[in-house]
Every structure is written in C-alpha cells, then in structure tokens.
C-alpha cells in the first residue's frame, strides 16, 4: 500500500472542504436577504427578525448612572455605568463564570436566584450607598427603598419574543443552555422576582439583546452623521441587530396586540437572530464535520449558521477534522516516530488524557493560536498542543497540518460572517445613500481612477462588533472584507465604505443606554 498522499496533501484536502468561495458567498447573501424580508413579515421564519421596541440610536450626548447585567453564553457580567454625555463613560464591572449545572438546571429559579445574588454582591462591593438600605429593609420588612432605584438593563442573549421594552418571553435556549420551565416565560419578571426577594433597590427597566447593546454602545461612542447601522456579535454565539425602516416591519405595524413604541423616528432596531439563518441548508456549506457536530449537539438542525461561525463551535469543528486525520491509517496525524532525529524523546504521543478525545475538547482560542503563529516550526502552536491538549512532541509537519485546517475553519467563519453583514448593508439600501460630499482627494484633484478613494465620513456605513472571535482571531476582519469585495452589489467601492469597529464593553454601555431610553418612555 503506497503512501502516495503525504500528510501535507491530506491536510490541504481537508482544509479545502472548508472552502466557501465567491459564488457560494453570493448565493448565501441572496438567501440572507430573502430570509430577512420574510422574517419582517411573519412569525415562525428561519430568522426571527424580532422587533426590539428601541426606535432610535444614541448620538453620544446621553447622561446618567445605570446598572447593567449580561447573561451571555459563558459569563455573567454585572456593571454600573456612568454616561458622561460626551461619548465617554466610566464603567465598574464584575464577572463570574456561569456554573455549568445552572445552564441545564431543573428550574429557572436556580439560575435566576444565582443572578440576583451576583447583583447583590456587586452592589455590596461597589455601591455601598445603594446597598445600605437593603439590609435595613430585610430586617424591617419595609419594602420602600429610601434611596434612588437603579434602572437596570438586562442583556439576555437568547431568542425572546419581545412584547415591550422590559418584557419578553423566552422562545428557546441556545449555546448549550437547557432549562425547560423558562421557555415561554418573561425573563425580566423572572429576574425581578429574585431581585425583590433580596430587597435590592434595582428595577429591571429594559430587556436587551447583546447585539442591540453593541449597536447602541457603538453609536454612543462613535456617533457619525447617520449613526451605526449594525451591531454584531461573534463570541460564544453569533447574532446581529440593525436599524430597519419601521414600515418594513409589517408583522409589528399590523399587529393589534403590539406594545407601545415611539413611531416618530420611522425606524426600529430589529434583532435578526441570524444564528438560525438557513437552518434548512439551502446555501450554507455542509462538510461531514458540520454534519457530525450538529448530530451530537443539544439542538440538531437548529442554529445552523451559528454552528459554522461562532466560538462555541469552531474548536469542535477543528477537533472533528483533526480526528479524521488522526484515525487515517494512510497518513496518521500525531503519529510521527521521529526517533531517527537527534531528539530521543521525539515520538509524538496523544495521551489518553488529551481533550482531543472528548466532545468540545478544543477551545476556539486554539484557532487563534494557530492563525497567530507563523514562527519557524510553529513553536507556540506545538507548545499549546503539549501543555493544553496533552499531545506531546508534535512535529513541525503535524503542526503545519493543524494550522492549515484551523486556518480554513477560521477563514470560512469570517466569510460566513460577511454574508450577514453584506445582506444587511445591501438590503437596508445604505449603499445607495451618499451625500456626494467631496473627499479630500477629490478636492485636491488627485486622479481617482487608480483607486485609493478616501470615503467621506458621512458616507461610511458603521458596524459595531463585539465578541472574542472578532476581537482576537487574527485577521478576522480582513477575511470579512475580502468576502465583501467579492459580492457584486458591494464590490471594492462598497467594501471601503463599511467601517467595522469594536464596541468595547458594548453590552454594559448599550444596556445602560436602553435602560435610559426605557426610562423616558415610561
Ligand atoms: P460571550 O460571547 O459568552 O459573551 P466572548 O465574546 O468572550 O463571550 O466569547 C467566548 C467564546 O470565544 C468562547 O466560545 C471561546 O471559545 C471563544 N474565544 C475565547 N478566546 C478566544 C480567542 N483568543 N480567539 C478565538 N476565540 C476565542
């Protein structure tokens, strides 16, 4: 049996399975636009397109002290935010990992009482003045707080059917959570009940999706002439919220039972829930690794876009792809017998304890390690395999193979992210809106035909992003941009007009801003 195929070739072949090239991107963008429109018109569609009741983005002048909590995928964050009214803010934050057992608890009370307890600990540590009265109230049973009540924005990053600015029913869990009795319940009420049991001077004023928070935060800190168009998360999960014309949100404008909202702006922020884009796989790529990951997940057939894009899943895709090579008898990965080399201890070994044998064993941060290591022989990569993954004495060839496949998975994720961004940029018609303002080059008479066009600030389309993947994966934005340029309706010119910026602490500031808006409405 001839070893005609080297490890490098085989790795290239597996990597190529993750190709997602121009034509495929375009087909997916078209489908994304179709699903966007469908979701605005009716319920029960693949992308939920949830109206958020938030009808304006901030302009940087907002002021006040607010609290915010964020139940993401991995951590629970509690913070207080002072908005200074000049696009800046100060933020005090604490963060705790959500215990795994609470993610799949029998009752929602177990989770929500834990969350309320964290709010109490935060107040005690950072806002003594607000906490002092709490103990007194507990003793006396007097429920009336004698100090100012904190308005709190509750960032809850799961699909909810929002029926008011601080009211929303959980539709389904994602990201590994599974607490059956919470489904269909108002998550703000669940939290408020536990807060009240502790007599804390806190009112859940707004229900916030993290994507909406990201959009609001970005718009506050970098207010342009037109405001931010889109807030997008690429963290444990992925999702986006954007500014839509109210007239297009027909499922809300025609709904007799819809709650109150301000119609004067003619706009509403819509939470796309794009994690479930193309669940029926009309246009998404689908490798054997995608199939297997989905089959072994808690929600097969659901969140199919998210399963190809976000931090919760990319490490697992890599693990499955690597295992294919590990088990390939022709060119086994991590089976080098390097004893002929100088190093006597150089036989590669995957120890039984290696997380590579276990579902979810590889963290997506490892993909960043791979993409970020271009050192000769890939020292960081091999060291990480050794230290964190119990795979010792990995050869440079093996490291190269791992890097090739990891890079392909990361690149595909970014190109898929571009599908969502492109769909929204195109479908909102923002590209057609130009001020016609001359750029510096035009003014100075430089020939524009050779490219290097500076885009006038007013013509920029602002996108706020957040999440470890987009923040830390090397060149995630560059991969997105390359894909955007390949979309005919965007092209080189359109891609230059898209400004992508990290919305730092987005969920906290954004939630504060929405709590502020909610206070005005009430
Ligand atoms: P969340 O989305 O839960 O609020 P994050 O934005 O920090 O929190 O995302 C956490 C996810 O990001 C996890 O799935 C983790 O595997 C992944 N992650 C953490 N660090 C990195 C990194 N350096 N590069 C890529 N992904 C990362």
- Ligand 1 pocket, 240 CB below 6 A? no
pTM beyond 0.90, yes or no: no
Q: Distance from the CA of 468 to the center of ligand 1, in angstroms? A: 4
**Are residues 191 and 335 part of one domain?**
no
**Are residues 178 and 306 part of one domain?**
no
Of 350, 385, 410, the one marking the end of a domain is 410
Of 410, 435, 459, the one marking the end of a domain is 410
Ligand 1 atom closest to the Cα of residue 315 is 16
Q: Whose CA is nearest to atom 17 of ligand 1?
A: 311
What string of pLDDT tens digits covers the 522 residues of the chain?
344 468 999 999 999 999 999 999 999 999 999 999 999 999 999 999 999 999 989 989 999 999 999 998 789 999 999 999 999 999 999 999 999 999 999 999 999 999 999 999 999 999 988 787 887 778 777 666 666 789 999 999 898 988 888 999 999 998 889 999 999 999 999 999 999 999 999 999 999 988 999 999 999 998 777 789 999 999 999 999 999 999 999 999 988 878 888 899 999 999 999 999 999 999 999 999 999 999 999 899 999 999 999 999 999 999 999 999 999 888 789 987 654 455 555 788 999 999 999 999 999 999 999 999 999 999 999 999 999 999 999 999 999 999 999 999 999 999 999 999 999 999 999 998 776 554 444 444 444 444 455 778 788 999 999 999 999 999 999 999 999 999 999 999 999 999 999 997 777 899 999 999 887 655
Ligand 1, pocket-test mutation among 69, 74, 232, most atoms within 8 A of CB: 74
Ligand 1 atom closest to the Cα of residue 210 is 4
Ligand 1 atom closest to the Cα of residue 368 is 24
Residue 62 lies in a domain: yes
- Ligand 1 pocket, 314 CB below 6 A? no
Instruction: Tell whether ipTM is more than 0.85.
Output: yes
- Ligand 1 pocket, 236 CB below 6 A? yes
**Are residues 355 and 208 part of one domain?**
no
Q: Whose CA is nearest to atom 4 of ligand 1?
A: 72
- List, in sequence order, every beta strand (DSSP E) within 165-201: 167-170
Residue 289 lies in a domain: no
Is 178 exposed, middle or buried (CB count within 10 Å of its CB: 0-12, 13-18, 19+)? middle
**Are residues 323 and 176 part of one domain?**
no
**Are residues 153 and 66 part of one domain?**
yes
Residue 12 lies in a domain: no
Ligand 1, pocket-test mutation among 235, 239, 505, most atoms within 8 A of CB: 235
**Are residues 352 and 216 part of one domain?**
no
Q: What is the CATH number of the domain that holds 78?
A: 3.30.420.40
Measured distance CA(19)–CA(322) in Å, rounded: 16
Measured distance CA(314)–CA(360) in Å, rounded: 9
Q: Distance from the CA of 280 to the center of ligand 1, in angstroms? A: 26
Ligand 1 atom closest to the Cα of residue 310 is 14
**Are residues 315 and 184 part of one domain?**
no
**Are residues 304 and 175 part of one domain?**
no
**Are residues 189 and 68 part of one domain?**
yes
- Ligand 1 pocket, 93 CB below 6 A? no
**Ranges of H-type helices in 267-364:** 288-295, 306-309, 311-326
Measured distance CA(98)–CA(117) in Å, rounded: 12
Q: Whose CA is nearest to atom 16 of ligand 1?
A: 364
Q: How many CA atoms lie within 13 A of 207 on its CB side?
A: 27
**Are residues 210 and 77 part of one domain?**
yes
If you count them, how many residues does the chain have? 522
Q: Rounded to whole angstroms, what are the CA distances from 187 to 92, 111, 123, 298?
A: 24, 11, 21, 22
- Ligand 1 pocket, 306 CB below 6 A? no
**Are residues 214 and 90 part of one domain?**
yes
**Are residues 81 and 217 part of one domain?**
yes
Ligand 1 atom closest to the Cα of residue 312 is 14
Q: How many domains are there within the chain?
A: 2
Residue 14 lies in a domain: no
- Ligand 1 pocket, 467 CB below 6 A? yes
- Ligand 1 pocket, 364 CB below 6 A? yes
**Ranges of H-type helices in 344-486:** 365-372, 379-389, 396-427, 440-444, 468-472, 476-485
Other beta carbons less than 10 A from residue 84's beta carbon: 14
Ligand 1, pocket-test mutation among 468, 474, 479, 510, most atoms within 8 A of CB: 468
* pLDDT at site 446: 43
Ligand 1 atom closest to the Cα of residue 73 is 3
Residue 226 lies in a domain: no
- Ligand 1 pocket, 468 CB below 6 A? yes
Residue 157 lies in a domain: yes
Residue 449 lies in a domain: no
Which residue is it, tokens 């390939």?
A: 328
Residue 13 lies in a domain: no
Q: Distance from the CA of 37 to the center of ligand 1, in angstroms? A: 30
Q: What is the CATH number of the domain that holds 305?
A: 3.40.367.20
Determine the structural domain holding residue 386 and report its residue range. Answer: 296-410
Of 363, 387, 410, the one marking the end of a domain is 410
- Ligand 1 pocket, 74 CB below 6 A? yes
Q: Distance from the CA of 194 to the center of ligand 1, in angstroms? A: 29
- Ligand 1 pocket, 472 CB below 6 A? yes
Ligand 1, pocket-test mutation among 157, 217, 231, 365, most atoms within 8 A of CB: 365
């Amino acid at each position: 049996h001839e070893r005609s195929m080297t490890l490098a070739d085989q790795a290239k072949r597996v990597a190529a399975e993750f190709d997602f090239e121009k034509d495929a991107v375009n087909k997916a963008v078209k489908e994304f636009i179709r699903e966007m429109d469908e979701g605005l018109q009716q319920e029960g569609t693949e992308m939920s397109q949830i109206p958020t009741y938030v009808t304006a983005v901030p302009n940087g002048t907002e002021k006040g002290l607010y609290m915010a909590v964020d139940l993401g995928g991995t951590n629970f964050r509690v913070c207080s935010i002072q908005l200074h009214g000049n696009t800046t803010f100060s933020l005090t934050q604490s963060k705790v990992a959500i215990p795994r057992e609470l993610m799949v608890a029998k009752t929602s009370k177990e989770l929500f009482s834990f969350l309320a307890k964290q709010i109490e600990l935060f107040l005690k540590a950072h806002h003594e003045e607000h906490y002092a009265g709490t103990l007194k109230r507990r003793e006396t049973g007097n429920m009336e707080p004698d100090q100012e009540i904190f308005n709190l924005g509750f960032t809850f990053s799961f699909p909810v059917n929002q029926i008011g600015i601080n009211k929303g029913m959980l539709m389904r869990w994602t990201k590994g959570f599974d607490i059956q009795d919470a489904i269909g319940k108002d998550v703000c009420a669940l939290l408020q009940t536990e807060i009240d049991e502790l007599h804390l001077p806190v009112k859940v004023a707004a229900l916030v999706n993290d994507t909406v928070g990201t959009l609001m935060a970005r718009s506050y800190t970098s207010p342009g002439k037109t405001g931010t168009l889109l807030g997008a998360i690429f963290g444990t999960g992925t999702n986006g919220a954007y500014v839509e014309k109210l007239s297009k949100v027909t499922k809300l404008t025609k709904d007799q039972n819809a709650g109150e909202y301000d119609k004067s702006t003619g706009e509403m922020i819509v939470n796309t829930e794009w994690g479930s884009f193309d669940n029926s796989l009309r246009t998404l790529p689908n490798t054997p690794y995608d199939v297997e990951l989905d089959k072994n997940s808690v929600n097969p057939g659901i969140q199919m876009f998210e399963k190809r894009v976000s931090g919760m899943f990319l490490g697992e895709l890599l693990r499955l792809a690597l295992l294919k090579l590990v088990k390939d008898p022709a060119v086994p990965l991590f089976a080098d017998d390097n004893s002929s080399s100088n190093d006597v201890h150089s036989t590669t070994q995957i120890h039984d304890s290696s997380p590579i044998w276990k579902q979810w064993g590889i963290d997506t941060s490892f993909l960043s390690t791979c993409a970020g290591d271009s050192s000769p022989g890939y020292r960081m990569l091999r060291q990480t395999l050794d230290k964190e993954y119990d795979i010792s004495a990995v050869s440079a060839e093996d490291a190269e193979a791992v890097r090739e496949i990891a890079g392909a998975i990361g690149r595909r994720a970014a190109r898929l992210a571009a599908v969502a961004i492109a769909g929204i940029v195109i479908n909102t018609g923002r590209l057609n809106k130009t001020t016609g303002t001359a750029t510096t080059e035009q003014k100075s008479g430089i020939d524009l035909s050779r490219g290097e066009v500076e885009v006038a600030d007013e013509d920029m389309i602002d996108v706020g992003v957040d999440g470890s993947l987009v923040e830390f994966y090397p060149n995630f934005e560059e991969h997105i941009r390359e894909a955007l340029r390949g979309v005919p309706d965007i092209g080189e010119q359109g891609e230059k007009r898209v400004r992508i910026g990290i919305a730092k602490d987005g969920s906290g500031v954004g939630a504060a801003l929405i709590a502020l808006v909610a206070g005005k409405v009430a």
